[in-house]
């Protein structure tokens, strides 16, 4: 499946995250933001994403005799659909999840390296809440979260606003029924 498999690399995922966050960027601008990625490696991964129709050329202009391309996410780019994800093997799903979480770890490391972190003042949080819910309740929760986010998604940069990211991971716990697994019965006396 093109969309998910094309993203199964940390550098490609970071490129997509940059374009998602900033709109349109040249390869030079991407390299400024991803300075730890060698330029040849960056060009290779940008090319890979373009070949898989995840990003496209928004503009092309001549700069000092060379062609400079500005890239953006391809129209309709979204997280992989349930059908696309269901076509992945367990190993591919683990790889996709590992790439996603490694991006979160890198983002948090960048935040810590950016100066004096103040999690409270910066509204940084990470937490886990365990709860019981059926599928309909989960669908309502998802709609409520999207309704709360929708007004913020259209915000432009402005004084007092910071670029923020909300990442979610939702998965069932070890047992799926209302009854927890039972311990093995104790042996009766005298056995």
- Rounded to an integer, the average pLDDT of 172-190 is 57
Cα atoms in the Cβ-side hemisphere of radius 13 Å centred on 8: 15
Cα atoms in the Cβ-side hemisphere of radius 13 Å centred on 91: 0
On whether the CB atoms of residues 14 and 103 are closer than 8 A, the answer is yes
Among 31-40, 95-104, 143-152, 178-187, the least confident range: 178-187
What is the structure's pLDDT at 69? 94
Residue 142 clears pLDDT 70, i.e. is over it: yes
d(CA 76, CA 56): 12
161 falls in which pLDDT band (50, 70, 90)? Answer: very high
Q: Calculate the dihedral angle through the C-alpha atoms of 170, 174, 178, 182, rounding to the nearest 10 degrees.
A: -170
Q: Quick: pLDDT tens for 90-135.
A: 877 877 777 678 778 878 888 898 888 999 999 999 999 999 999 9
d(CA 103, CA 91): 18
Cα atoms in the Cβ-side hemisphere of radius 13 Å centred on 13: 20
Q: Cβ atoms within 10 A of the Cβ of 17, count?
A: 16
Residue 30 clears pLDDT 90, i.e. is over it: yes
Q: Exposure pattern of 38-77 as b/e (b: 16+ CB <10 Å)?
A: eeeebeebbebbbeeebbeeeeeeeeeeeeebbbbbeeeb
d(CA 111, CA 134): 36
What is the structure's pLDDT at 60? 92
Higher pLDDT, 185 or 117: 117
Residue 175 clears pLDDT 70, i.e. is over it: no
């Amino acid at each position: 499946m093109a969309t998910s498999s094309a993203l199964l690399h940390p550098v490609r995922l970071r490129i997509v995250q940059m374009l998602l966050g900033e709109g349109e960027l040249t390869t030079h601008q991407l390299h400024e933001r991803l300075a730890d990625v060698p330029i040849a490696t960056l060009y290779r991964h940008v090319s890979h994403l373009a070949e898989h129709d995840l990003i496209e050329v928004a503009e092309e202009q001549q700069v000092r005799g060379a062609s400079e391309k500005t890239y953006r996410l391809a129209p309709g780019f979204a997280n992989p659909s349930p059908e696309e994800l269901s076509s992945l093997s367990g190993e591919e799903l683990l790889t996709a999840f590992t790439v996603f979480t490694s991006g979160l770890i890198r983002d948090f490391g960048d935040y810590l390296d950016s100066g004096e972190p103040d999690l409270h003042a910066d509204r940084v949080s990470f937490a886990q809440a365990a709860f019981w819910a059926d599928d309909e309740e989960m669908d309502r929760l998802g709609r409520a979260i999207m309704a709360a986010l929708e007004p913020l998604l259209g915000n432009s940069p402005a004084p007092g606003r910071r670029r923020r990211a909300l990442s979610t991971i939702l998965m069932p716990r070890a047992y799926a029924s209302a009854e927890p697994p039972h311990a093995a019965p104790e042996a009766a006396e005298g056995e």
